Chain A
Amino acid sequence: MKFMLMMHAPRGKGDWAVMDWSPEALKAHIDFMMKFNKELAEAGELVGAEGLDMPSQARIVRASVNGPPEVTDGPFAESKEFLAGYWIVDVETAARAHEIAARASAAPGPKGAPLNMAIEVRQVMSGPPADV
């Protein structure tokens, strides 16, 4: 079964709070993520993982009735969290996907303590249709 694990990171002041972290804390966080991805790949469970650029760079595009599509800054300023990146894993059970998400959630934060980020877990629609 495939699952998408979406990392909802705290937005912090205006942009990603990560800008205020100490170099050591940043290094610990990045090392954690690299090791985490390597382990998933070695377990034969990683389908894909990508980090996304900063929310300040995001654009919201909407088709308009007449004329060119509207392109505005996004995401919505009031949101406290944003999608920082995602993993797609192929695992035997939903419980295993939750276990992986829990590890990602515990990535070290600015003081070295686990961030406890919200990881949204959604199954990828790839199940078998039953004979109807």
Chain B
Amino acid sequence: MTGADERAPGPDERLLRELTPQVVGAITRRFGDFSAAEDAVQEALIAAATQWPREGVPTNPRGWLIQVAARRMTDHIRSESARRRREASSAPADDSIVPAVDEIMPGDHDDTLTLLFMCCHPALTRSSAIALTLRAVGGLTTAEIARAHFVPEPTMAQRISRAKQSIRTSDVPFSLPSERERAARLDAVLHVLYLIFNEGYATTSGPKLQRADLSSEAIRLARALHHLIPDDGEVEGLLALMLLTDARRTARTDAGGELVPLDEQDRRLWDRQQIREGVALVTRALARGSVGPYQLQAAIAAIHDEAARADETDWRQIAALYALLRRMSDNPMVALNHAIAIAMIDGPAAGLSMLDALDGDSRIAGHFRLDAVRGHLHERAGNPERAIAHFRAAAEKTTSTPERNFLMKKAAALAAARRGS
């Protein structure tokens, strides 16, 4: 791999990615066959990627892409109908179903939202929804998606084709969800974008740096969604959460790629511009009055981001927001974070006793985060022996290498200090 794989997309590539969902939408609307339409658009994107740098960007790039994709689509339909004629020689020629290219009216209709609802449909597994969204809405190639997930290209191609199959077999329509379904379907869209963001945010060091692209891609898609649905607090909240979290990306790992905990990060490295934008978004969302989990998480991230120093963090407000979040969703991870905030206000013993209630919750009982937090709280309570045991237990259970290194070093440092004293 050369550095070329890790560079940010160039201007042509950005334009192509922006236009992709509009073109996929137009072709699907005209020809009806989403699966084939999406393939045709990918071919048009590849043609553009080779021709535009040589011949210049056409004056109407969207129209150009629609023309090329429609031509591919027409070829596809002709060869399909020829095949059918060969198989059943009596069948009449059905070239009549192929529309002329100029019949496809690009107009100002934008089907991006319809497409997003379709690709994130609950009938798909989340991993296939992610892959399909990145390709059909994000305009990434299969190779790029495969590289971002560290799987071979044919595997990713299969995943995408299975996602399309699920859409076909589950009869997912190419239309906006009904008013009744809308809230649940929008939740599914937000969840997929959130997962894409997290995948990118998960690995931000060394040879895996390219995954940061996924975070940027998730932010771009959330931005597009916010543009299409400007008055939804949760859409705004998700975009804010991504911006406020991503603002800390550079400070989150040290030069060697090791994790730096929030309270030890160099806050001068945080992206002020992104923080300002995120804070403005979440403030506007909360003012709307219909509070949701993404807005609350964004509000918590904003409080962290706005503290000039770790010890200036407003833990009372954070604790209050976690209490609200707990009322909204029964999520043990939220309860865990609530306990951390309480420990920052009332001391480690108060946090530790809140954690005891989580031992009975099978969703988190064996999770490394529970041990990691206990380790931190016992350390703060001046109980290194128990802290070491919990840090070691957490290090055994985590599946993240930077996290494991961090936890092992914590345990080792405490053990060395004990031997020294």
Contact = CB atoms under 8 A, between A and B. Distances in A.
Interface of A: 1-2, 41-48, 90, 92, 123-132
Interface residues of B, number: 38
Contacts of A127: 202, 398-400, 403
B378 interface: no
A90 B262 contact: no
> Which of B131, B157, B202, B245 is most buried by chain A, counting CB atoms within 10 A of its CB?
B202
A53 B372 CA distance: 41
B127 interface: yes
B324 to A, nearest CB: 20
Given A127-B403, A131-B262, 10 more contacts: A42-B158, A44-B158, A44-B160, A46-B155, A125-B399, A125-B404, A128-B203, A128-B400, A129-B403, A131-B252
Query: Which 5 A/B pairs are nearest by Cβ-Cβ distance?
Result: A44-B159, A128-B202, A127-B399, A129-B403, A44-B158
B403 A90 contact: no
A9 B44 CA distance: 49
A125 B152 CA distance: 18
A122 to B, nearest CB: 10
B84 interface: no
Interface of B: 125-128, 131, 149-152, 154-162, 198-199, 201-203, 245, 252, 259, 261-262, 369, 372, 398-404, 406
Contacts of A124: 399
7 contacts: A44-B159, A47-B151, A126-B400, A128-B201, A128-B400, A129-B403, A131-B245
Nearest to A2: B150
B399 A92 contact: no
A19 to B, nearest CB: 32
A43 B401 CA distance: 28
A127 B201 CA distance: 11
B400 A92 contact: no
B274 to A, nearest CB: 16
A126 to B, nearest CB: 7
B406 A132 contact: yes
Contact of B155 (A45, A123, A126): A45
A44 B156 contact: yes
A130 B339 CA distance: 16
Contacts of A41: 154-155, 158
Contacts of B372: 130, 132
A126 B402 CA distance: 9
Contacts of B369: 130
Nearest to B333: A130
A45 B127 CA distance: 10
B162 A44 contact: yes
Contact of B401 (A42, A44, A90, A125): A125
Contacts, number: 76
A128 B369 CA distance: 12
Contact of A47 (B155, B199, B202): B155
Given A90-B155, A92-B127, A127-B399, A47 B150 contact: yes
Contacts of B402: 129
Nearest to B126: A92
Nearest to B403: A129
A38 to B, nearest CB: 11
Nearest to A1: B399
B399 A44 contact: no
B306 to A, nearest CB: 16
Contacts of B259: 129, 132
Contact of B199 (A92, A125, A128): A128
> Which of A1, A44, A124 is most buried by chain B, counting CB atoms within 10 A of its CB?
A44
A75 B406 CA distance: 34
A124 to B, nearest CB: 8
Contacts of B160: 44
A125 B150 contact: no
B261 A132 contact: yes
B198 A44 contact: no
Contacts of A132: 259, 261-262, 372, 403, 406
Contacts of B401: 125-126
A97 to B, nearest CB: 12
B380 to A, nearest CB: 14
A128 B201 CA distance: 8
A125 B149 contact: no
Nearest to A90: B151
B307 to A, nearest CB: 14
Nearest to A40: B155
B156 A129 contact: no
Contacts of B152: 46-48
A92 B127 CA distance: 7
Nearest to B245: A131
Nearest to A130: B369
A124 B150 CA distance: 12
B195 to A, nearest CB: 10
Contacts of A45: 155
Contact of A128 (B127, B150, B162, B198): B198
A85 B261 CA distance: 39
